[in-house]
Structure 1
Amino acid sequence: MLAAAPATKVDINEAPLTPVTDFSFIPVADPVLGSDEKEALCEVIDSGWITMGERVQRFEEDLAKIHAVDETIAVNSCTAGLHLILHALGIGPGDEVLVPSLTFVATINCVLYVGAKPVLVDIESLDNPLMSLEEAESKCTERTRAIILVHYAGYLADLPAWKEFADRRGLLLIEDAAHATGLKEVGTYSVAAALSFYGNKNMTTAEGGAIIASDPDLRDRMRKMRGHGLTSGTFQRHNGSGPGYDMIMLGFNFRMDELRAAIGIVQLKNLEAWNLKRRQLTNLYRALLEEYVPEVVVPFDENTTSSYHIMPVILPGDVDRSRVIKSLRDAGIQTTIHYPPAHLFSYYRERLPSVKLPKTEEYSERELTLPLFPRLNDAHVERVTQALAKSVHCE
């Protein structure tokens, strides 16, 4: 696995981290939004220009600097980003795309949107719940065109190994980096990567996403495709390029608006500090879980590069997870599950019958996601851990 990034010198106290004041309930995720975001939204409204314009361009530039790339392409969701990548690469009917079942359904749906067939792949292990390279190799056929890696929970897959596999097989490597915003490794080995800024992500624009791609020709196609395949946008025409335009390819309405971009510009200023706080909280969880309830396992090697998007743990096999969830809820602590196995959903079972992924199924039966967000403090983490230990030991 890729080594963890060296400790940053960012001062987390510089970011607006107002502590949670409602100690009666700890949510599993909580966006950091405040007066700066409100002011940014008011400036957009006062400007009279609310669709894709100068702020979207500024947001793309600021995001590119954080990821150390030439350009990024803002879109209205990570789902749109993945769809756009697949479409722009020409993946379609007759093609197969390797994708994990341990993911949000959008990853798989995007393959179906372009008419291709998703081939669902098991995870490597309970300790490393990322798509198995060995099983991916066994599921390749002459129709396999691409791989969509998912950096589950913010933990990077072994990108050099997947790149070698993709090159050897002549496949296109794509990253679903919805959980990994802020990690500079994203997009460095793949043909393209999609990011998410949904409300529960490490930074948010409410809805929104972005694409990283190294090929300028591919970026140009996707920029046109996100706006109906037109040669110019409304803002460019408004600024004097003339009222005329042409449609040169089939496109979509995947644009980001100025309001979301304005929030994103503010959020990006704090992303590095927030990710550092997530790392510190995760390390504290690891230490306290080992102390209070060592039978609960935290997946991933602690040195794996991560944005620390969520805090998944694996309950002992003989523990009733539904009872633990209720017990924690009664204690004022929200939890959730990341994710139910996609291949067991009714829609996919009808279209992809007989898929059996035993490691994914066991992981999904035992996984529980604990609260993790920048406004948590050490006392909150200790409260969650002690409540979890009490619930597990009362089984």
Structure 2
Amino acid sequence: MKIPFSVPLIDADVIAEMHDTLTNTRWLTSGPKVKALEDEIQKFIGNDNALCVNSWTSGAMLILRWFGVGPGDEVIVPAYTYSATALCAMNIGAKPVMVDVNEDFTINADKIKAAITPKTKAVIPVDLGGYPCDYDSIKKVINAPEIRRMFTPDNERQRMLGRILILSDAAHSFGATYNGIPAGKVSDATVFSFHSVKNITTGEGGGIVLNLPEPFDNIEQLNFLRIFSLNGQNKSAFEKNQIGNWRYDIIDQGLKINMPDLCATIGLAQIRKYRNELLPDRKRIYDFYVKALSQYEWAIIPPYKNGGTESSYHLFLLRIKDFTEEQRDEMIRIISKNEVGVNVHYMPMPMLSLFKSKGYVMSDYPVAHHLYKNEITLPVYNGLTEEQLDFVVNVIVEAYMTVAGS
């Protein structure tokens, strides 16, 4: 039995929606399907603003640019995450300051506090695997009087906020909740990913949601970001294409990161049934793994629910108790030989050549390395049958017994 690690959902609804785009609306770049997807995101989260862009990285860069982050500034990020969390800051000239994580894979608030300097402009917590960070602890740090006094604003938006910006890397957590609050309503700004392997996909893509405090007007700021995502152009191509509506202006030096309708079409077909069908199905898969693997003392089950905090069930981050990196890698070799696709999320950034060349050292982040060295990510995607899941578990167990026995 061959089981890939990830398979995007392309079903009859997606095909029908794409057929409608190509034969009825007949518009390929940003237009009515993007607007419809943004409306569905707002409805799902329960807020009044959403902006679709062409990737998570672009969306995060847009928010940092909007806040005026640039050369000489620092952005705090966890060492245990995908590189885009740091690259969004580096791409606009800012310096990522890496800190260690907690045992649940989320950023350590105490480490954030220790890393803050007068140059710190933003912190990017990562909901790794779809499990939300401890935002109350993060906000307590950011709002502490001594930390607010240290903040040095360089522009009007920074003066309006009066503190470090909290930008959620919610690439994995669309559909998650924190203390009963939907992801997207917890931080100042949230960026989701709709990449091909995500719970909802547009192939490539991302979504921005604002939750800025007063005196900000979130809709006003979102409308500016929409222009900012179109090279600073105050009309989209769709709007300019309407008869007699050709005139436009460039009001700021923006980026070109809008999502096209072709991509939004796929996500639109999926999000309409996400709450009632797709998300519960992912939870079913997760529950199967939890029940099947909890009987083994060597299987460390990832966090997924705690009171009102619940994962989006994006990744199942299994850890193998007391295993070394070499033993974990041997397990993956055996699992792969049995045609089950697994992965590792992630190689901590200080292990990667780019970041090593910039002076980041893995030994500075012991918890991140401790989590990474024995982590194996299991397949979680819509449509996996119980027979397939049972096969995955059996292959995992047999691979452990083979490696542990040797």
Question: Which TM-score applies when normalising by structure 2?
Answer: 0.87
Deviates more, 1:356-365 or 1:374-383: 374-383
Separation in 1 of the partners of 2:85 and 2:400? 33
Structure 2 counterpart of 1:96: 74
Q: Is the 8 A contact 2:174 2:312 kept in 1?
A: yes
Q: Which amino acid aligns with 2:302?
A: P
**Does the CA-based 8 Å contact 1:88-1:218 persist in structure 2?**
no
Which residue, out of 226, 229, 233, partners 2:229?
226
Is 1:290 equivalent to 2:268 in the alignment?
no
- The AA in structure 1 aligned to 2:298 is E
Return the alpha-carbon distance in structure 2 between the equivalents of residues 218 and 163 of structure 1: 22
Flag the 1:351–1:217 CA change in 2: closer, same or farther, 3 A: farther
Deviation at 1:117, TM superposition (A): 0.7
Aligned-partner residue type, residue 268 of structure 1: I
Pair 1:205 & 2:215 matched: no
Preserved CA contact (<8 Å) 1:198 1:208: yes
Q: Secondary structure at the match of 2:241?
A: helix
Equivalent residue number for residue 311 of structure 1: 316
What is the rounded CA distance, in whole Å, between the counterparts of 1:216 and 1:162 in structure 2? 25
C-alpha separation between the residues in 2 aligned to 1:76 and 1:251? 14
2:172 corresponds to: 179
Any conservation in 2 of the 1:176–1:194 contact (CA below 8 Å)? yes
Distance 2:54 2:128 in 1: 21
Q: What is the aligned counterpart of 2:282 among 253, 272, 278?
A: 278
The equivalent of 1:343 in structure 2 is 350
Shift of 1:79: 1.1
Deviations 1:96-135 (A, max 9, x none): 111011111111100101211100011112xx11111111
Deviation at residue 280 of structure 1 after TM alignment = 2.1
**Aligned ranges for residues 40-59 of structure 1 at < 5 Å?**
40-46=17-23, 47-59=25-37
CA contact (8 A) 2:127 2:169 kept: yes
Find the partner of 1:33 among 1, 6, 10: 10
CA 1:225/1:241 → structure 2, altered by over 3 Å: closer, same or farther? farther
Matched, 1:72 2:50: yes
2:159 alignment partner in structure 1:
none
Partner of 2:340: 333
Moved more, 264-273 or 231-240: 231-240
TM-superposed CA distance for 1:287, in Å, is 1.5
Say if 2:397 is the partner of 1:389: yes
Uncovered stretches (5+) of structure 1, i.e. residues with no partner: 1-23
Post-superposition offset of 1:153:
0.2
Which of 118, 133, 142 is matched with 1:157 structurally? 133
Q: Deviations over 1:339-384 (max 9, x none)?
A: 0011121111112344621110121111100111121122222221
Contact 2:230 2:255 in 1 (8 A): yes
Q: Matches of 2:219 and 2:119 in 1, distance apart?
A: 27
Query: Following the alignment from structure 1 to structure 2, what is the Cα–Cα distance between the partners of residues 300 and 28?
Result: 20
Give how far 1:301 is off.
Answer: 5.6
Question: Match of 2:214?
Answer: none
Preserved contact between residue 99 and residue 108 of structure 2 (Cα < 8 Å): yes
* CA contact 1:160–1:189 (8 Å) conserved in 2: no
1:221-247 deviation per Cα after TM superposition (whole angstroms, max 9, x unaligned): 211111000111121122246211111
Separation in 2, partners of 1:374, 1:34? 11
Q: How does 1:361-376 map to 2 (within 5 A)?
A: 361-376=369-384
Question: Does the CA contact (< 8 Å) of 1:97 and 1:116 recur in 2?
Answer: yes
Aligned-partner Cα distance in 2 for 1:384–1:42: 35
After TM superposition, the structure 1 = structure 2 runs for residues 233-252 of structure 1, keeping only pairs within 5 Å, are 233-240=236-243, 242-252=245-255
Q: Where does residue 19 of structure 1 map in the other structure?
A: none
Match of 2:190 in 1: 193
Amino acid at match of 2:184: G
Deviation readout 1:41-63 (Å, 9 max, x if unpaired): 22222243211111111111011
Q: Which of 103, 122, 136 is the equivalent residue of 1:146?
A: 122
- Could you tell me how far apart the structure 1 residues matched to 2:375 and 2:226 are? 38
**Distance in 1 of aligned mates of 2:57 and 2:244:** 31
Q: Quote the Cα distance in structure 2 between the aligned partners of 1:120 and 1:252.
A: 26
Secondary structure of the residue that 1:336 maps to in structure 2?
coil
Task: Give the equivalent residue in structure 2 for 1:4.
Answer: none
1:12-40 CA distance string (max 9 Å, x none): xxxxxxxxxxxx21112211112221222
- State the TM-score, normalized to the length of structure 1: 0.90
Over the matched positions of the two proteins, sequence identity in percent amounts to 28
2:240 and 2:305 map into 1 onto residues whose CA distance is 51
Count of aligned pairs between the two proteins:
369
Name which of 339, 361, 365 aligns with 1:357.
Answer: 365
Q: 2:83 maps to which residue?
A: 105
Cα distance between partner residues in 1 of 2:7 and 2:289: 18
| Whole-angstrom distance in 1 between the partners of 2:81 and 2:310 | 19
* Cα separation, 1, equivalents of 2:323 and 2:189: 41
Q: Which amino acid aligns with 2:134?
A: D
